[in-house]
């Protein structure tokens, strides 16, 4: 297969809007990389530039070591799976899957064998003579996957392929896509705005914001050590709790001050000034309910979501800061109940309030 390398990749539209700004990214051979971020962050534009469907303003796209900026899309040896399936409604499933091979003038006998093998792999072989309108959403998505797989491309490109499926089918198809990619030992770039998809599918995740790359790392490494406040809040559901305050350090001891509350911290930090303004982040699962610590946050309960194996407690501090705590099992609190919330000092993430960059 092949790696994909983006260098200084930039896209500026005619209205001077910079959709993608100087992105450097390498997708390793046989890797499943997920591009994730909110709508309009540039992730689909990057995918389309790799495919050759979008003109590149500046920078290069290389596939398998060869720059493909001026290579026609059909000659890049990539296959793209779209959000809306993009199936031909007047063709049968068989003809939809074989279309690319027929256009490439592959021998009929070879086409027939490849279509049968691919359809069997995706369990859609009983539907080969049906039209797309006779299939469910999940079956149509499998046809779209089969059409990509049958070409045996160097790189698979996925543009939010599961967004039109219901929650249960999305989970099932997500697992199937990952299993297929591992079986085929191919390189894949997958675009989504769904954080769960990113965490569960990606060998690595690349987080985008406003056309710029924020961080690239393995899912759990990014979750436990986010490079920016945006990444900390975007990766993980619910997002990270944020407390704005001042960081004090004296005699090697670091204290976080949030209004009239002071909390001793576990780590030593590299800070350029005496009392920088910071944002302290704590994951919901690291919040402690009914904390026995001497100092904690007094919070009023807004809502409790009982999810079976766990509960989410949404609450508000006296200064209107919103917090979420995650705990095992099912707990019950009345609306307006007052809790004293705490957290383990070693669980704190600190970010510069001005730059939103992580403080080490």
Q: pLDDT of 230-263, one tens digit each?
A: 999 999 989 999 999 888 887 777 888 877 677 7
Same domain, 89 and 143: yes
**Dihedral sign computed on CA atoms, order 112, 115, 118, 119:** negative
Token readout for 192 is: 């989504």
pTM score of the predicted model: 0.89
Same domain, 290 and 175: no
* Structure confidence by residue, pLDDT tens digits, 76-116: 999 988 888 889 999 999 999 999 899 888 899 999 999 99
Same domain, 254 and 276: yes
Same domain, 249 and 221: no
Token readout for 165 is: 């499926």
> Which is more confidently placed, 212 or 162?
212
**Dihedral sign computed on CA atoms, order 154, 157, 161, 163:** positive
Q: What is the CATH number of the domain that holds 271?
A: 2.40.50.140
Residue of 54, 58, 63, 50 lying closest to 4 (CA atoms): 63
Residues 6+ apart with CB under 8 A from 50: 4, 6, 61, 63, 78, 155, 157, 189
What is the span of the domain harbouring residue 174? 4-232
Same domain, 214 and 245: no
Residue 358 lies in a domain: no
Residue 177 lies in a domain: yes
pLDDT, average across residues 211-217: 97
pLDDT band (50, 70, 90) for residue 123: confident
Q: Structural domain tally of the chain?
A: 2
Residue of 268, 244, 243, 242 lying closest to 255 (CA atoms): 268
Residue 359 lies in a domain: no
Token readout for 350 is: 């600190």
Residue with tokens 């591009």: 35
CA 269 to chain centre: 29
Same domain, 19 and 84: yes
Same domain, 188 and 113: yes
278 close to 245: Cβ distance less than 8 angstroms: yes
Residue with tokens 């995918």: 47
Which stretches does DSSP call E strand in 165-211?
187-192, 204-209
């Amino acid at each position: 297969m092949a790696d994909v390398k983006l260098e200084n990749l930039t896209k500026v539209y005619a209205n001077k809007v910079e959709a993608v700004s100087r992105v450097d990214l390498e997708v390793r051979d046989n890797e499943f990389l997920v591009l994730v971020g909110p709508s309009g962050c540039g992730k689909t534009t990057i995918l389309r530039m790799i495919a050759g469907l979008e003109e590149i303003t500046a920078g290069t796209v290389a596939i398998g070591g060869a720059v493909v900026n001026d290579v026609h899309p059909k000659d890049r040896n990539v296959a793209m799976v779209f959000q809306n399936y993009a199936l031909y409604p007047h063709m049968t499933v068989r003809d939809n899957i074989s279309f690319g091979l027929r256009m490439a003038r592959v021998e009929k006998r070879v086409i027939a064998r490849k279509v049968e093998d691919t359809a069997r792999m995706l369990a859609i072989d009983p539907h080969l003579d049906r039209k797309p309108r006779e299939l469910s959403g999940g079956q149509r998505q499998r046809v779209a996957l089969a059409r990509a797989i049958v070409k045996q491309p160097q790189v698979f490109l996925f543009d939010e392929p599961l967004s039109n499926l219901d929650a249960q089918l999305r989970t099932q198809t997500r697992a199937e896509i990952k299993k297929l990619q591992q079986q085929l030992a191919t390189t894949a770039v997958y675009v989504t705005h769904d954080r769960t998809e990113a965490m569960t599918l990606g060998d690595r995740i690349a987080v985008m914001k406003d056309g710029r790359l924020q961080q690239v790392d393995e899912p759990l490494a990014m979750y436990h050590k986010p490079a920016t406040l945006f990444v900390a809040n975007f990766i993980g559901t619910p997002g990270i709790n944020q407390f704005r305050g001042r960081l004090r350090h004296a005699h090697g001891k670091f204290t976080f001050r949030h209004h009239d509350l002071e909390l001793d911290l576990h780590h030593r930090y590299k800070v350029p000034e005496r009392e920088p303004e910071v944002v302290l982040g704590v994951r919901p699962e690291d919040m402690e309910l009914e904390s026995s610590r001497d100092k904690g946050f007094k919070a009023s309960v807004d809502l409790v979501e009982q999810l079976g194996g766990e509960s989410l407690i949404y609450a508000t501090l006296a200064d209107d800061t919103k917090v979420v705590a995650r705990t095992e099992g099912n707990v019950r609190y009345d609306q307006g109940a007052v809790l004293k919330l705490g957290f383990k000092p070693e669980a704190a993430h600190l970010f510069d309030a001005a730059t939103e960059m992580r403080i080490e």
